[in-house]
Chains A and B, each alone.
Chain A
Amino acid sequence: NAGVTQTPKFQVLKTGQSMTLQCAQDMNHNSMYWYRQDPGMGLRLIYYSASEGTTDKGEVPNGYNVSRLNKREFSLRLESAAPSQTSVYFCASDRDRGMNEQFFGPGTRLTVL
């Protein structure tokens, strides 16, 4: 039982490049989330998927797209990376929309030059 896995763990991009962050959970959770964490800002929600087949914008969705590929996988795509997207990205999942214990992936440290 791996919990929540994320790839990659580290990534350096040049401005304008694109990339996809992958996330998978093996706990049969319905809800999945992408957060970013910046110094002094706390965790901020980018996008979430309350259940398979649905996605919704969070607090800071601009510059990102997501895909809930199936119940296990939820990917985050940066189409044209900008330095303002330098951050640590966390994927998380829970059984039901924040009303149960939330499990976090190990994080992806992204630097955009």
Chain B
Amino acid sequence: KNEVEQSPQNLTAQEGEFITINCSYSVGISALHWLQQHPGGGIVSLFMLSSGKKKHGRLIATINIQEKHSSLHITASHPRDSAVYICAVPIIQGAQKLVFGQGTRLTINP
């Protein structure tokens, strides 16, 4: 059983649509990361949040610690948003480290 589950695994949408990617986790955490991996392979951190909501440009991340669920929203989606979006949570197994979801492949068509 994966400790971090993302849905959907693949998502295709038209430019301008509102996008939601979900992340559920089964372990107790104090924070959650959202990452973006571009088609070229590079991985960048988008958000780290422990409560409520964070916004950066057209990206919004929310988290509900009690329900163990986080969402990443993209408003006014654009083809350049096409990427794999990954959520990750820090867990303690020995020392503390990140466990990753499988990723959501997003394709925005013009």
| Chain A residues in the interface with B (C-beta under 8 A) | 33, 40-45, 48, 50, 54, 56, 58, 88, 90, 92, 97-104, 106-107
Q: List 17 A-B contacts (CB under 8 A).
A: A33-B97, A40-B102, A43-B86, A50-B96, A56-B95, A58-B97, A88-B41, A90-B43, A97-B97, A98-B96, A99-B30, A99-B90, A102-B45, A102-B88, A104-B35, A107-B42, A107-B43
Assess whether A103 is in contact with B45, with CB atoms less than 8 Å apart: yes
Q: Which label, helix, strand, loop or mixed, suits the secondary structure of the B interface?
A: strand
Assess whether B98 is in contact with A45, with CB atoms less than 8 Å apart: yes
Give the residues in chain A near B88, CB-CB below 8 Å: 43, 98, 102
Nearest A residue to B43 via CB reads A104
Assess whether B96 is in contact with A97, with CB atoms less than 8 Å apart: yes
Assess whether B95 is in contact with A42, with CB atoms less than 8 Å apart: no
